[in-house]
Amino acid sequence: MKSFKPLSRYLLVELPQKDEEKTTVGGIHLPDDYKPKEQPYVTVKVLAYANDVKFKEELDGFRTITSDENITMLVDRSMLEEITHDNRHYTLILDNYVKGVFI
């Protein structure tokens, strides 16, 4: 299977796994249709990025100074683009909506 390479200033990211908690910290059971208010920003793991991303040099530098290959960023949740193609799921974000990098 071919790998996906983002273009036009996009980053391919991975969202953290959602915890399906149906009980509060105090032990109260929540209804099945309850959805907690989502925070406006979310932490994502960078999987790949376009060559024309505005901060490509910084990303390349982070990959060399970190012991693992994972770069974690804080992004605007509302700007994430979810795409499904050929039964594969991709999450993309434009570089304008990246707020910062965790190093």
pLDDT tens readout for residues 27-57: 777 787 777 788 899 999 999 999 999 998 8
pLDDT, one tens digit per residue, over 59-100 is 888 766 555 568 899 999 999 999 999 999 999 999 999 999
CA distance 31 to 29: 7
Query: pLDDT digits over 4-26, tens only?
Result: 999 999 999 999 887 555 656 57
In terms of Cα–Cα distance, which of 64, 72, 68 is closest to 46? 72
More confident residue, 95 or 58: 95
Predicted confidence at residue 77, as pLDDT, reads 95
d(CA 93, CA 55): 14
